Amino acid sequence: MSELNSIVLKILNKGKGILAADESTATMTKRLESVKIQSTAENRLSFRETLFSASGMTEYIGGVILYDETIKQITSKKNKIPELISEMGSFPGIKVDTGAKVLAGSPNEKITEGLDGLRERLKEYYKFGAKFTKWRGVYNISKEHPSKLSIQSNAHALARYSALVQECNMVPIVEPEVLMDGEHSAKECFVKTSEVIKKCFEELILHKVDLKGIILKPNMILAGNKCKDKISNEEVAKLTLKCLKESVPSEVPGIAFLSGGQSEIEATENLNLINKFNNTNFIMSYSFGRALQQSALKFWSQDIKNIDGTQKIFNQRAKMNTLAALGKWSKELEN
Ligand code: 5MM
């Protein structure tokens, strides 16, 4: 077994998932301001440190994706953040893209940037203790989108990023996110997501990326948030499995879904059904941002000194999602 493959299997071991805490400062500011907390470096650290030192980290969270600011911060107990995460039994990871910018040639779409100087930045993050990385390509659905140009150029960037990351002995998380914003049907989401993922693997193979040493982070197959014809959770799970079975090469060891704006319970329920019906050899787990942090953030914002209370809420979400990654979750366990 290669070193990278063994890291993947440890991160996703026994239903463990990934905490996506890699919000850029702009996104984190939105999240904090939505609960009336000022977005200072100190407050961003305080919330994140509260989560990273929660007991649920040890049992349920195999990896944490950090942002550049956070990986360099020192905790209130004078520890480095990656050391705290490792001590809790989890792997520190880092977001290495520099964000999605307007795609020249298709102004309503985005291309993710960050390849220039990436090899050097990766070496620095490796020294900080990162064992894995993340890069997110974003695609929106409309009649003419995602365009061939956006599908091709984002896949190319994801593949070039992955090859550089593996060269530096870290596991790349490959995140092509087809957004749920819009009126599109679940069927359209299925078709577009399949096209996007297939192109990503075409490019990953061309760039000689070791598929056993990556984690795919896709969206679930959902109807757009403005679509009138919603589908059931069972249909979401079945369509998601069909899409991944047809588009992902069997060498890939693990898939960790993003939550994409679903409510916490919805994301957990869908993940549980995906695992109940899983007829593939892929590990199917989670790499949630909002669906792991929303309730904890709300509670914390009422009293940022109530660390135990915040951690209790986070532990419960992490536990519920790990049970879902094992197909053992039920609604009754939520109470
Ligand atoms: C944690 O949120 C990340 C957002 O990063 P930016 O601030 O650079 O947009 C995002 O990439 C996240 O990792 C994934 O989208 C998954 O998060 P959700 O909330 O969809 O599970």
**69 pLDDT more than 90:** yes
Mean pLDDT value across residues 175-192 = 98
pTM value? 0.98
DSSP string for 232-300: -HHHHHHHHHHHHHHHS-TT--EEEE--TT--HHHHHHHHHHHHHH--SSSEEEEEESHHHHHHHHHHH
Enter the tokens of residue 63. Answer: 């990896």
Distances in Å between the alpha carbon of 334 and those of 18, 136, 172, 232, 319? 20, 31, 33, 20, 10
217 as an active site residue: the answer is: yes
Comparing C-alpha atoms, which of 46, 68, 236, 169 is closest to residue 37? 46
Q: Is the CB of 264 under 6 A from ligand 1?
A: no
Number of domains into which the chain is organized: 1
Q: Identify residue 312 by its one-letter amino acid code.
A: K
Question: Mean pLDDT across the chain, nearest whole number?
Answer: 98
Cα 288 to ligand 1 centre (Å)? 8
CA angle 32, 38, 42 (to 5 degrees): 95
Probe target for ligand 1 pocket from 68, 70, 177, with the most ligand atoms within 8 Å of CB: 177
How much is the average pLDDT of 36-65?
A: 98
Torsion sign over Cα 142, 143, 147, 148: positive
Active site residue: 177, 192, 217, 269, which one? 217
**Pairwise CA distance, residues 84 & 138, whole Å:** 31
pLDDT greater than 80 at residue 88: yes
276 is catalytic: no
Q: pLDDT-derived band of residue 305, with 50, 70 and 90 as boundaries?
A: very high
Q: Which domain holds residue 316?
A: 3-334
Give the C-alpha separation, 335 to 333, whole Å.
6
**CA-proximal residue: ligand 1, atom 16 (nearest):** 258
Confidence of residue 224 (pLDDT cuts 50, 70, 90): very high
Is the C-beta atom of 24 inside 6 A of ligand 1? Answer: yes
By the 8 A CB rule, do 31 and 297 touch?
A: yes
Identify the active-site residue in 23, 49, 109, 175.
Answer: 175
- DSSP for residue 183: S
The CATH number that applies at residue 264 is: 3.20.20.70
Residue minimizing CA distance to atom 4 of ligand 1: 23
Cα dihedral 303, 318, 59, 323 in deg (nearest 10):
150
